[in-house]
Amino acid sequence: EKTRNWKPIIKIAVSGAAGMISNHLLFKIASGEVFGPDQPVALRLLGSERSQVALEGVAMELEDCLFPLLREVDLGIDAKKVFEDADWALLIGAKPRGPGMERGDLLEMNGGLFAEQGKALNEVAKKTCKVMVVGNPCNTNALICMANAPNLDKRNFHALTRLDENRAKCQLALKAGVFYETVSNVTIWGNHSTTQVPDFVNAKIGGERCTDVIDDQTWLENDFTPAIQTRGGLLIKKWGRSSAASTAVSIADAIKALVTPTKEGDWFSSAVITDGNPYGIEEGLVFSMPCRSKGDGSYEVVEGLKINDWLRERIKKSEEELSNERGCVAHLMGVEGASCV
């Protein structure tokens, strides 16, 4: 202990902690794979009344791993206790969609939960707490959470689109016959829904333009794009439940992207507040855009990507969808007179 230069312990609150995604993610966090090998962590696990006992089981497994970086495991079902002094809040718990549903169908069911958790974060979390929303529909849930947590900077909130980015990178790599690592600069624009826009226009493969390496516009537009937009749904159809392991990996990737400096010339996707964005996207939405980080947990939106007509038209659709979703949850954001179709 004395010979090692440990950083101060950080507190990581995780909701839906007894669920499938968490069951993959918690062990990555506790092992040091996410926050780094010199970063001790305290895990604060939030469950529901229904999952309370299961949560005790999860905690037992965490203890039994003897992870040297895991300094504390606390359990609870009251967000106001579990989120106390949190440095990070990973909001995973929510009702997932089943076969044939769109993520937006969950808005009514899950929206209230995120209003409540926003209020709890506002009261008890650190003002600097970073919030990563995973439960669907994640963009609008993040917006609801943000609206209920005015003490936290809006730029502390993220909704997860890293899973979509990873899916896009994989499909581009397979098509080009190269290794995933060589695919970079992949942006997911917009909503984590079927209107999302996986940007092959600005993507690179081996440092070259993706459209030069994959010289097949028809495939990029008509196969690749819908394949990424609907991959979550296809997985539910095949597996009978929503993605868990790959989601956990992408949450780990999304956090690592914020706590390590972004590689020169590259970026990552995250859904963040559109206020002051350089692409003319309507303000007051949580919208996936290209981001970079210095590695201190904060980010900046990357400017100057080429938005051609094909992209612009589709980005607009996702923007309209999110604007409408926001109208539907205005009552949860303390806004009156909004409309929802």
Q: List active site positions.
A: 192
Give 122 or 193: the residue with its C-beta nearer to ligand LMR: 193
What kind and span of H or E run contains 107? helix 107-124
Binding of residue 262 to ligand LMR (CB under 6 A):
no
Cis amide linkage into residue 290, ω under 30° from 0: no
Give 83 or 287: the residue with its C-beta nearer to ligand LMR: 287
Closest CA to 254 of 148, 336, 159: 159
Query: In this structure, what is the dihedral angle of CA atoms 149, 27, 18, 160, given to the nearest 10 degrees?
Result: 40
Q: Which stretch binds ligand LMR (CB under 6 A): 147-155, 204-212, 236-244, 281-289?
A: 236-244
Q: Which stretch binds ligand LMR (CB under 6 A): 66-74, 112-120, 171-179, 234-242?
A: 234-242
Q: Which stretch binds ligand LMR (CB under 6 A): 116-124, 227-235, 270-278, 288-296?
A: 227-235
d(CA 100, CA 278): 36
Binding of residue 227 to ligand LMR (CB under 6 A):
no
Give 141 or 262: the residue with its C-beta nearer to ligand LMR: 141
What kind and span of H or E run contains 42? strand 41-46
Contacts of 226 (CB under 8 A, 6+ apart): none
CB of 131 to ligand LMR, least distance (A): 17
Over the window 153 to 172, marking each residue x when it contacts ligand LMR by CB under 6 A and - when it does not, the resulting string is ----------x---------
Cα angle: 111, vertex 285, 295; to 5 degrees: 100
Q: Which residue from 22, 122, 140, 243 is in contact with ligand LMR, where contact means CB under 6 A?
A: 243
Rg (CA), the chain: 19
Residues in touch with ligand LMR (CB under 6 A)? 96-97, 103, 136, 163, 232-233, 235-236, 242-243
